[in-house]
Amino acid sequence: MDPSSFPALLIALGLGYILGSIPFGLLLTRLAGLGDVRQIGSGNIGATNVLRTGRKGLAAATLILDAAKAAAAVIIARYYLGELPAIIAGLGALLGHIFPVWLGFKGGKGVATFFGVLLAFAWKVGAVFAALWIAVAALSRISSLAAIVATIAAPIAAWAFGLGEFAIVLLLMAAIVLFKHRGNIRRLLAGEEPRIGAKT
């Protein structure tokens, strides 16, 4: 199969979506006897909301697994289908995480999954994302601001590293992540976004 063919891209998108739609945050909290994580905090299934259960270990596991599922999609598609399908698989993983069919298309905000795509396809871009996230979070103590800044920087970094196709798809992925953070952006502009560790 030609890696650039439509069937290959469609297979990659489907593979990414299926892997990305695995709701690790929901599964882990239920297995831990904490009920439905969607009933607390922001109501989403990502690591930040899992952290609101008070279980840092579960939040860390959620973050790692949400990144790993996206990385797996990229690695598998790259091995069997090629470079462009690998990028499309990453897009599929992000869409699956944010809009999982099993949960009525209501998932997480996609930051960890986005990071997993970066690490698997171009680790240097992932390193830029991680460095910016850590720096902004350390200075501002606001997780969402760190995520927003790092997400905006990712396609710019990809372009700077000469990864044109990846940068173009990352622009779309970044736009989706930013759309999911629109409430956070409104609170940031109003000075009402909670800081890391604050009661919510």
For residue 192, give the amino acid letter: E
Q: How confident is the model at residue 110 (pLDDT cuts 50, 70, 90)?
A: very high
Model pLDDT, residue 38: 83
Domain ranges, ordered by start, for the chain: 6-190
Which two tokens mark 42?
A: 């922001």
The 10s digit of each residue's pLDDT in 15-60 is: 999 999 999 988 988 888 888 888 887 778 888 888 888 788 888 9
- DSSP 8-state class, residue 199: -
- DSSP 8-state class, residue 135: H
DSSP 45-100: -SHHHHHTTT-HHHHHHHHHHHHHHHHHHHHHHHHHT-HHHHHHHHHHHHHHHHS-
CA distances from 58 to 35, 87, 185 (A): 13, 29, 26
The 10s digit of each residue's pLDDT in 122-176 is: 999 999 999 999 999 999 999 899 999 999 999 999 999 999 999 999 999 999 9
Residues 120/157/178/17 CA torsion (nearest 10 deg): -20
